[in-house]
Structure 1
Amino acid sequence: MVAVRVGTEETRLVVLRGNSASGKSSVAAGLRERFGRGLAVVGQDNLRRVVLRERDRPGAANIGLIGLTARYALDAGFHVVVEGILYAEHYGAMLTALRADHRGPTHGYYLDVPFEESLARHTTKPIADDVSEAQLREWFRPRDLLPGGTETVIGADSALRETVDRILHDTGLAHLPEVDR
């Protein structure tokens, strides 16, 4: 299979992974708020739950849709943050191909939050009444890292602002101008 190159040497691809309630969506929102226009957020929950209303299973349609959406945004000149639980077993091949095909810098982060902290954070979310502790425990996979050491692990002790600052600086987004769209 021939690789299809996406994005440009200037576009940034950031992949944020971690268990439920680890802070992925908050970090993605913080990155967008701080960077401004020109940063696309490709959220697994939105595409899987809202757009497709699909269960998270191997080979599910949302896997390809996440990859296609990220590729489209990169080709349109956006920097892209892909965020979600994105289990390594289900999404690893798609994320590996996306990383390999992206022309610009790609950075992966895994938000490593212990189950007890995830549970405490979960109680503050709007879906807390719909998702039980048992369901959260079933979904939880400790250190579900992608193979190859491509992810930087960020622990629960890193505050939201600190995590956003780190990613902005690591990726170079802190020094790039907002794209007027």
Structure 2
Amino acid sequence: MIVIRGNSASGKSSIAVGLREQFGRNLAIVGQDNLRRVVLRERDRPGGANIGLIDLTARYALDNGFHVVLEGILYADRYGPMLRDLVSAHRGVSRCYYLDVPYEETVRRHAAKADAEYHRHVTPDHLSDWYREKDLLADGLETVIDALSTLDDTVSQIMDESGLDQVLPVDR
């Protein structure tokens, strides 16, 4: 199981997709945005229903033999207890990563996204409101990856450190 956290526009979803492209089938992507915003249409608030749904979805995929990439902003104060429980309960390898990208770079990356509809709903003001500098989980659970790491380098690092580069995918 791989957990990828960081601020908006830090590269979490791109890394998750890159991991799946490199690994192949049998790797489930559990995205906070999809479950919270699309499935539940819920605001990100303490104690939100999405926290339990994320946990259940990740556990279900793991219990059914999938490798899991769980990605999202996943603020430490709201999601930290669930993430620590999930990592603690997982019988296999768990690796957690935090993408440490400065606010100015998140704005630049956000502006480079091609989705015009997204730009109408998410502005630099939203990014500023959501931004939390170094929102790390307690107990040094995460490896910090800085903004200088390229997408390919980050995917390679996670593949190597998680051991996914040594696992054969299952063609489901």
Band of TM-score, shorter chain: over 0.9
Name the amino acid aligned to 1:51: V
Output aligned runs, 1:149-164, within 5 Å. Answer: 149-164=140-155
CA deviation profile, 1:26-49 (whole Å, cap 9, x unmatched): 000000010000100000000001
Name the amino acid aligned to 1:54. Answer: E
In the alignment, which residue of structure 2 is the partner of 1:100?
A: 88
What residue in structure 2 maps to residue 175 of structure 1?
166
Moved runs in structure 1, 4+ residues, more than 3 A?
none
Q: Give the alignment's Cα RMSD to 1 decimal.
A: 0.6
Q: Give the unaligned 5+ runs of structure 1.
A: 1-12
Structure 1 residues 60-106: Cα deviation after superposition (integer angstroms, max 9, x where no partner): 00000000000000000000000000000110010010011001110
- Higher helix proportion (structure 1 or 2): 2
1:140 equivalenced with 2:128 (yes/no): no
Q: What is the one-letter code of the residue matched to 2:21? A: E
What is the deviation of 1:23? 0.1
Match of 1:27 among 8, 12, 15: 15
The corresponding residue for 2:100 is: 112
Separation in structure 1 between the aligned mates of residue 84 and residue 26 of structure 2, nearest angstrom: 23
1:15 equivalent in alignment to 2:3: yes
Tell me which amino acid in the other structure corresponds to 2:57: T
The within-5 A match list for 1:28-67 is 28-67=16-55
Corresponding residue pairs, total: 169
Moved more, 125-134 or 57-66: 125-134
CA drift at 1:132: 1.6
State the one-letter code of the partner of 1:94: M
Name the CA distance, whole Å, in 1 between partners of 2:61 and 2:123. 35
Equivalents in 2 of 1:31, 1:137: separation in Å? 28
Letter in 1 for 2:144: V
SS of corresponding position for 2:69: strand
What is the TM-score normalised by the length of structure 2?
Answer: 0.97
